[in-house]
């Protein structure tokens, strides 16, 4: 019998071209009522990409408008935000947001950051209309799933950006291919994720992929793993 988490993760990894469906995987696997995937902040703007129901979408909208809530905390801390007793403790953590949700049946909330390497671009929000908690194992699973979602979201955002650099010529492709191999070795990740790291770095700094790749090949830019995730050192 297949493991539910492994099955969900495999299907999620295959669903990158269907961004509106991404939130549904969390509701199917975890004991929550609804979920939403959103980008937050300046990098990709604040927008709900996927929501399982109107309440999940509204909770995102309120957090965007008020500038506080679990999704903001998850993005800023690059860590899971766990609040099983939202009505009891949420008022102290997010007073404006908690007050704005009084008309909604929200008893518990959880948020997990969307991040790729040094970039954090949003969060996955989960809510339950009844008090629930997530076990440490479930939180670890949700974090892993959010990492996959983060790669899907960033790839979609970078599609036009990557296409522009793909027209830079043969030499550019060779250098980027070489740099991808270097990043792969530095971080022990897949070739696709290594290339995504280069694209993300170029996007966040306003450089061409060729420029970032050349810096990696020259040794003036390298990626390392740190306690808070992946860091770029130059």
Q: Give percent of the chain above pLDDT 70.
A: 92
What pLDDT, on the 0 to 100 scale, is given for residue 171?
Answer: 45
Whether 201 and 175 map to the same domain: the answer is: yes
* Residues spanned by the domain of 202: 168-233
What pLDDT, on the 0 to 100 scale, is given for residue 192?
Answer: 80
| The total number of structural domains that make up the chain | 2
Whether 118 and 175 map to the same domain: the answer is: no
Whether 172 and 153 map to the same domain: the answer is: no
**Residue 19 counted as domain residue:** yes
Whether 82 and 25 map to the same domain: the answer is: yes
- CATH number for the domain including 131? 3.30.450.40
> Which of these three, 128, 157, 186, is where a domain ends?
157
Whether 142 and 174 map to the same domain: the answer is: no
User: Over the stretch 63-72, which tens digit does the pLDDT of each residue have?
Assistant: 999 999 999 9
Give pTM, 2 decimals.
Answer: 0.76
- DSSP code per residue over 147-175: HHHHHHHHHHHHHHHHHHHHTT-HHHHHH
Whether 48 and 73 map to the same domain: the answer is: yes
User: Over the stretch 128-178, which tens digit does the pLDDT of each residue have?
Assistant: 999 999 999 999 999 999 999 999 998 887 775 555 555 554 445 678 888
Whether 116 and 30 map to the same domain: the answer is: yes
Whether 150 and 172 map to the same domain: the answer is: no
Whether 202 and 180 map to the same domain: the answer is: yes
> Which of these three, 100, 134, 157, is where a domain ends?
157
Across 175-198, average pLDDT: 82
Query: Minimal CA–CA distance to 38: which of 103, 111, 96?
Result: 111
* Contact by Cβ (8 Å): 90, 97: yes
* Contact by Cβ (8 Å): 18, 12: no
User: Over the stretch 76-116, which tens digit does the pLDDT of each residue have?
Assistant: 999 999 999 999 999 999 999 999 999 999 999 999 999 88
Residue with tokens 């991404």: 22
Span of 48-52, 84-88, 161-165, 214-218 with lowest mean pLDDT: 161-165
What pLDDT, on the 0 to 100 scale, is given for residue 170?
Answer: 43
* Contact by Cβ (8 Å): 117, 226: no
What pLDDT, on the 0 to 100 scale, is given for residue 166?
Answer: 52
157: Cα within 13 Å, side-chain hemisphere: 24
What pLDDT, on the 0 to 100 scale, is given for residue 35?
Answer: 98
**Residue 135 counted as domain residue:** yes
Whether 41 and 149 map to the same domain: the answer is: yes
Statement: residue 217 has pLDDT above 50: yes
> Which of these three, 104, 131, 157, is where a domain ends?
157
- CATH number for the domain including 194? 1.10.10.10
């Amino acid at each position: 019998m297949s493991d539910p988490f492994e099955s969900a993760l495999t299907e999620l990894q295959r669903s990158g071209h269907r961004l509106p469906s991404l939130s549904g995987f969390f509701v199917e696997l975890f004991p929550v009522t609804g979920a939403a995937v959103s980008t937050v902040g300046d990098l990709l703007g604040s927008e709900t990409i996927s929501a399982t129901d109107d309440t999940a979408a509204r909770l995102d909208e309120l957090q965007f408008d008020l500038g506080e809530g679990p999704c903001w905390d998850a993005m800023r801390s690059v860590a899971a935000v766990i609040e099983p007793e939202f009505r009891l403790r949420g008022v102290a953590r997010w007073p404006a947001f908690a007050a704005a949700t009084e008309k909604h049946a929200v008893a518990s909330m959880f948020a997990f950051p969307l991040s790729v390497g040094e970039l954090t671009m949003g969060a996955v929000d989960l809510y339950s209309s009844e008090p629930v908690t997530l076990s440490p194992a479930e939180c670890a699973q949700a974090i892993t799933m959010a990492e996959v979602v983060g790669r899907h979201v960033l790839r979609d955002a970078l599609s036009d950006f990557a296409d522009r650099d793909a027209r830079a010529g043969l030499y550019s492709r060779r250098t980027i291919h070489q740099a991808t191999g270097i990043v792969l070795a530095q971080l022990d990740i897949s070739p696709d994720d290594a290339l995504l790291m280069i694209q993300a770095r170029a996007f966040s700094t306003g450089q061409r992929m060729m420029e970032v790749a050349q810096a990696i090949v020259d040794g003036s830019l390298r990626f390392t793993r740190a306690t808070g995730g992946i860091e770029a050192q130059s």
